[in-house]
Amino acid sequence: MSDSWIPPDGVQRISHRIKVPVGTFKGGDLRCPAADALRARDYRPVSIMRQPREKLDQFAFGPFMAACDALGRSQAERGGESRPARPVHQGLRQWTEHALASYAAAFPSHPDRPLSEAEAPWRYTHAVTGPDLRGAEEYQLTVWGRCLQSPDGRLRELRLPVNKLGLEQPPDRFVAAAALVLAEGAPGPAPERVRIVEFALLDGKARLLFEGSRDEALTLYRTHGRAALVELLDGQEYRPGPVCASCSYTAVCPVLRQAPGLLGVDRPGRTRRWWSVTNGRNHQVCPARDQMRRLHLPTADEVEHSAAVDRGRAVHAYLAERHGGGPLRPCTVKVPEHWVPEGFELPESEREMGARLLRGHAAVCPLRLVRNAVDVRNEPRVVRHDTAAEVVVVAKPDLLYQDGDAWVWRETKTTTRDRPSGRPLLEEYPQLALAVLLLARGDLGGGSGRARIELEVLRPGGADLEAIDPFAPETRAAAGEMVHRLVDPWLWDEDYPARPGPACSRCETARWCASGPDRQEGR
């Protein structure tokens, strides 16, 4: 037997124990399969560059879990009041208080069905007795969440906290792996029944993911979990993104491209971080807002999903589908009556406005200039590591396409205004400034003769298309100044204070802010 999985250069195996947190079975676009496999197989970089930690706790569930741990222990065990190991942002503190109240309301104590916190999170261990394809001597699976059990140990329950319940349940492979750990894991005797519950800290809603006997849990794992574990351990796809900032394999990653000096910063920040133009704009308006968005605290639906905002997102989703995989299909003025993509609900007026904007797009559809589908990158994630600033830069253009041998960066915006605002384009749309810096460096490859940035603005009266030359000296200077203006204050910020002002009334995270409108008015 041989293992076809190949680690990158610059790493070494520390042990022959394979350890997999069950959470990695969820997968998703924001995870890196190759990094998950490297961690599970216990590989470490040969040269380890220790990164200082952020001053503030960056794990949004950390304070909640620490508080629950303290409540589950006696006063003597916890030595007085529980204090978080690291300082917590005021927005996270406010959210944690809400989360604890929601948890207590969702799971009141029942004298007839008492459950208590387990001694320790359960861990499934399988000792290998013969030759192993991956050279492992032991396999371990671990769970994260609130682990509870009945007094006699016959029932085990895993409560999985989330901000709010998603439209779709977690994948079967994840539930199956968790069921295995509950059914077979230590410490404690094997239970007769196991239960897995997902609960929302925002509103206290819960849903049952699995409940059954120990044998049913094992059958579930054999059906959905075993093959998924093989796929996870053999993952070799490197998927650069925000996770690169905290990844221990960043320096040895064969896919993450370095771009020293991209952001024009003189010296690196305190620790490696990731940055996008959206984060930069959030921080410019209010540092606390940026931090709460980075922590993924729940946002206000009335702000995040206003009719106008959802119409813009629906238009983008429709264009992404039209420009996506399959044969080239330049858009036409014939917009289907039911054009709104699945997952969006728009009032009739917004559906009509969206169709009107899409008809205007037909005149400037970039696919009219493309001869081959391989020359199109639909909503690609462009990730670069500025090693001078120690920042992983993440961008997501609406479209990249090739005109001849040159790459064109297309951004599409929607508005109900018939006329431009008059502001400089790089100031109004800073993502264009980052695009200028990337193309001017030749970072996307290809020729430079026709390389350009295009801004498409869809208006009720038609589409405007602006072309920007990234090689014009004045344009490059303006772009560098714009990006520096967004990056520099953020890079050195460790406290993320609130900045009360007019934007508070339309802030999607104001509910968790000590300086939010409700608290300013004393309500």
pLDDT at 346: 94
In this structure, the chain runs to a length of: 523
Q: What is the pLDDT of residue 80?
A: 40
For residue 388, is pLDDT > 60?
A: yes
Q: Which of 400, 397, 399, 403 is CA-nearest to residue 370?
A: 403
**Which stretches of 237-294 are assigned E, i.e. beta strand?**
257-258, 273-275
Average pLDDT of the segment spanning 357-374: 92
pLDDT at 517: 61
pTM: 0.93
- Region 110-129: mean pLDDT is 91
8 A C-beta contact, residue 476 and residue 436: yes
Helices (H), 107-157: none
Question: How large is the average pLDDT for residues 283-289?
Answer: 97
Asked which of 180-184, 262-266, 451-455 is least confident by mean pLDDT, the reply is 262-266
CA–CA distance, 422 with 442 (Å, rounded to integer): 30
Residue 522 has pLDDT above 90, yes or no: no
Question: Confidence band (pLDDT; 50, 70, 90) for 76?
Answer: very low
pLDDT tens per residue across span 206-240: 999 999 999 999 999 999 999 999 999 999 999 99
The tokens describing 471, both together, are 């090689």
pLDDT of 296 reads 97
Got the DSSP string for 345-401? ---HHHHHHHHHHHHHHGGG-GGGG-S-GGGEEES--EEEEETTTTEEEEE--SEEE
Residue 99, phi then psi, degrees to nearest 5:
-60, -40
Residue 342 CB-density burial (10 A; 0-12 exposed, 13-18 middle, 19+ buried): exposed
| Residue 262 pLDDT | 97
Estimate the share of the chain in helix, then strand, then coil, as percent rounded to the nearest 5: 35, 20, 45
pLDDT surpasses 60 at 523: no
- What's the pLDDT band for 131 if we cut at 50, 70, 90? very high
Q: How far apart are CA 199 and CA 209, in angstroms?
A: 10
- What is the predicted pLDDT for the residue at 112? 75
pLDDT attached to residue 73:
58
Q: Which of 31-40, 41-50, 477-486 has the lowest mean pLDDT?
A: 41-50
Looking at residue 515, its pLDDT comes to 83
Q: Span 129-137, mean pLDDT? A: 94
Give me the pLDDT at residue 386, please: 97
**Residue 13 CA neighbour count, 13 Å, CB half:** 14
Three-state secondary structure readout of 201-252? CCCCCEEEEEEEEHHHHHHHHHHHHHHHHHHHHCCCCCCCCHHHHCCCCHHH
Query: Does 1 have pLDDT greater than 70?
Result: no
* Helix (H) or strand (E) run with residue 464 in it: strand 462-468
pLDDT of residue 191: 98
Q: With bands split at pLDDT 50, 70 and 90, how would you rate the model's confidence at 465?
A: very high
In percent, the amount of the chain with pLDDT more than 70 equals 96
Which of 494, 409, 437, 382 lies closest to 264, judged by CA?
437
Q: Which single residue is written with the structure tokens 């106008």?
A: 308
Residue 389 to residues 50, 208, 265, 274, 316: CA-CA distances in angstroms?
16, 45, 6, 10, 32
User: How would residue 514 be classed by pLDDT, with cut points 50, 70 and 90?
Assistant: confident
DSSP three-state, residue 468: strand
For 357-379, what is the mean pLDDT? 92
Give one DSSP letter per residue of 431-455, joined into a string.
Answer: HHHHHHHHHHTTTT-SEEEEEEEEE
User: Mean pLDDT for the chain?
Assistant: 93
Q: Residues 443-448: what's their mean pLDDT?
A: 88
- Residue 81, pLDDT > 80, answer no
Per-residue pLDDT at 518? 60
Rounded average pLDDT over 422-439: 96
C-alpha–C-alpha distance, residues 491 and 264, integer Å: 12
Average the pLDDT over 310-327 and give the result.
91
For 165-206, what is each residue's pLDDT tens digit?
998 999 999 999 999 999 999 999 999 999 999 999 999 999
Residue of 177 and 420 predicted with greater confidence: 177
Q: How far apart are CA 168 and CA 292, in angstroms?
A: 24
Return the residue matching tokens 């295995």. Answer: 180
